[in-house]
Amino acid sequence: MIGSREERLGRLRSNPDARVLIVGGGINGISTLRELALQGVDVTLIEKKDFTSGASAASSHMVHGGVRYLENGEFRLVKESLQERNRLLKNAPHLVKPLRTTIPIFSVFSGILSAPLRFLTHSSGKPKERGAFLIKVGLILYDTFGRAGKSMPKHQFWGKKKSLKNFPDMNQDVKFTASYFDASMESPERLAIEVLSDAVSHSNANAVNYVSLIGKSAGGVLLKDELSGEEFEFKADLVINATGPWTDMTNALLGESTKYMGGTKGSHIVVDNPRLLEACDGREIFFENNDGRIVLMYPLLGRVLIGTTDIKVDMGEEIYCTEEEIDYFIDLVKLVYPSIEVNRDQIVYKYSGVRPLPAADDLAPGFVSRDYRIELTKPMSSEFGLLSLVGGKWTTFRALGEHLADEAMKLTGDQRKLTTTDMPIGGGLNYPKTDSEVASWLKTNSSGISTDRAKQLLERYGTKAAELIAQIAVNGESMVSDHYSDVELKYLVETEGVSQLADLIYRRTNIGFVGGFDSDQLQQIADLVAKSLGWEKSETKAQIESIELDKVLA
């Protein structure tokens, strides 16, 4: 477990130095922390806001190789992504699940001539629809890259008749559907928290949210507690800049002028639309919009996630899901399911983030590489060395963290002692694989609560659920939202570094994602957090108002 923020902040103040300081608590910074912690390196991570509250919180919830990256010639990235997808299915089986993905196809040969041009020049030109032939070739390659290390079913092609039989609400103009398997993560933030928990279980590693880097100091760097305003110095031999889209801004604070980044905005909406949910048939529907942008609909937690856009942005601008983007999402559903109405009243959540993409001049957003690289921004010196991470995606976080940690250890002189390739993550340790193993685990660990509730907690937290189940068995519980109880929420607040109400609602749970609270429930959750963290009534009120404002502006 992570423990309380105050305890970790106290450690940071009393021991203001480390071999390595990681700036940025997204999934890639957290993964690098885990890698270094396991090698015995003295390492600290800081995050200006909450863990995984930036780019890492704005994903499409997919763990995938990126079939469309083949068109860009990014074969190395696709191969690594598929390998890491397979490893996550094995190492975090409670959080990463296989997902059938279906592509509706409306032409046969379209794109055959334009695709090689896109591959060679990375110029988008006038969008050309990708036809069945081109998609078939791509999926054959995808199968080839993805089958090593885990037996995933090969892709399938259905003709018009079978497609419409299985998807009766689909656009009648469909000529084929292609289906293949990738994977999904119901809650990316929970996966990150479990990686973080694994890291800080080692005494040589620390991580504190709501602490920012604000500049250099005579002895190293200057940090700021964002909640109290206190500033203090910290010394490290090596600083790793893992702040994603903000990398250049962070380097500027350290006196280094860089122009590494050129991120694009991606927005999503989550809708409560039972008919659309049923039409998706438990699959991700992955398709091409009229503008050539690859988009998706994905059934998740009883809702449907719709996304995403790919818009170049200035990091000085406010990032939010615009009305124009919502119109875009509503219109794209009609391409596949013209008879199903989606409207604004059905939106329960919307979010935006900036992809940490490398600067790419005038290259069209869809052709900017999703791969990563590591820059030695400042060599090791009497002051400190500086490594900058450029790029990175959710699926490859383990491999990226391994690579970044190895580059860091080359500079610090430390040695790798073990690999995380086959290492379980959090509650993935000893997770039951078969129905009989699940039944056995529940029989052993569900004493005092219902089997159904114990199974829900096992699926949510993996084998780490045993401790929470034991607490519920002793204290009893009362449901606060549709799927979370008072004891469960209190446990998360006190063991997972929660400092703000939003941390709990949006990142430790899925309550916010599904729109799972009304004003009374929000007050109840806020009161529970207030009791655990010692808030005054004025602070509790301010936290509630912040959540209500987030719902309006997100």
Task: State the pTM of this model.
Answer: 0.94
Which region, left, alpha or beta, applies to residue 308 given φ > 0 means left and ψ of -120 to 50 means alpha? beta
Question: Greater confidence, 294 or 204?
Answer: 204
> Which residues contact residue 547 at a Cβ distance below 8 angstroms, ignoring those fewer than 6 apart?
501, 502, 505, 512, 522
Tell me the per-residue pLDDT of 335-358, one tens digit each, with 9 for 90 and over: 999 999 999 999 999 999 999 988
Is residue 79, in this structure, part of any structural domain at all? no
Over range 3-29, report the average pLDDT.
96
Over range 68-74, report the average pLDDT.
74
Tell me the per-residue pLDDT of 494-517, one tens digit each, with 9 for 90 and over: 999 999 999 999 999 999 999 999
Tell me the per-residue pLDDT of 139-181, one tens digit each, with 9 for 90 and over: 888 888 766 555 578 889 999 999 999 999 999 999 999 999 9
**What is the pLDDT at residue 363?**
59
Rounded Cα–Cα distance for residues 431 and 388 (Å): 36
What's 287's domain CATH number?
A: 3.30.9.10
Query: Range of 447's domain?
Result: 430-553
Is residue 22, in this structure, part of any structural domain at all? yes
Same domain? For 468 and 520 the reply is yes
Please, what's the largest Cα pairwise distance for the chain? 72
Same domain? For 406 and 514 the reply is no
115: confidence class by pLDDT, cuts 50, 70, 90: very low
What's 223's domain CATH number?
A: 3.50.50.60
Is residue 417, in this structure, part of any structural domain at all? no
Residue that finishes a domain, picked among 412, 439, 465 = 412
**What is the pLDDT at residue 305?**
97
Same domain? For 389 and 270 the reply is no
Total domains in the chain come to 3
Over range 458-481, report the average pLDDT.
96
Rounded Cα–Cα distance for residues 51 and 497 (Å): 9
207: confidence class by pLDDT, cuts 50, 70, 90: very high
**What is the pLDDT at residue 367?**
60
What secondary structure letter does DSSP report for 267? E
Rounded Cα–Cα distance for residues 289 and 291 (Å): 5
Same domain? For 408 and 468 the reply is no
Is residue 81, in this structure, part of any structural domain at all? no
In degrees to the nearest 10, what's the CA dihedral of 338, 341, 347, 353?
A: 20
Same domain? For 267 and 245 the reply is no
The residues pairing with 23 across neighbouring beta strands, listed in sequence order, are 46, 241
**Under DSSP, is residue 227 helix (H, G, I), strand (E, B) or coil?**
coil
**What is the pLDDT at residue 151?**
59
Is residue 73, in this structure, part of any structural domain at all? no
pLDDT at 1 exceeding the cut of 90? no
pLDDT at 31 exceeding the cut of 90? yes
DSSP per-residue string spanning 179-201: EEEEEEES-HHHHHHHHHHHHHT
Is residue 452, in this structure, part of any structural domain at all? yes
Over range 228-244, report the average pLDDT.
97
**What is the pLDDT at residue 202?**
97
pLDDT at 127 exceeding the cut of 50? no
Residue 222: CB atoms within 10 A of its CB come to 17
548: confidence class by pLDDT, cuts 50, 70, 90: confident
What's 447's domain CATH number?
A: 1.10.8
Same domain? For 302 and 450 the reply is no
Rounded Cα–Cα distance for residues 70 and 68 (Å): 5
256: confidence class by pLDDT, cuts 50, 70, 90: very high
Over range 521-547, report the average pLDDT.
96
pLDDT at 361 exceeding the cut of 60? yes
Residue that finishes a domain, picked among 330, 352, 367 = 367
Same domain? For 171 and 118 the reply is yes
Over range 40-46, report the average pLDDT.
98
**What is the pLDDT at residue 118?**
45
Query: What is the residue-averaged pLDDT of the chain?
Result: 91
* Highest mean predicted confidence (pLDDT) among 75-84, 112-121, 189-198: 189-198
Two tokens, residue 325: 């983007």
pLDDT at 93 exceeding the cut of 60? yes
Is residue 420, in this structure, part of any structural domain at all? no
Same domain? For 224 and 328 the reply is no
Same domain? For 251 and 376 the reply is yes
pLDDT at 328 exceeding the cut of 80? yes
Question: Greater confidence, 472 or 482?
Answer: 472
Over range 427-451, report the average pLDDT.
95
C-beta of residue 349 within 8 angstroms of C-beta of residue 509: no
**What is the pLDDT at residue 327?**
96
pLDDT at 209 exceeding the cut of 50? yes
Is residue 254, in this structure, part of any structural domain at all? yes
Same domain? For 250 and 275 the reply is no
Residue that finishes a domain, picked among 380, 412, 444 = 412
Same domain? For 271 and 149 the reply is yes
Q: What percent of the chain has pLDDT over 90?
A: 78
Instruction: Give which of 487, 505, 520 is closest to 550, Cα–Cα.
Output: 505
Instruction: Give which of 55, 53, 27, 32 is closest to 44, Cα–Cα.
Output: 32
Same domain? For 176 and 284 the reply is yes
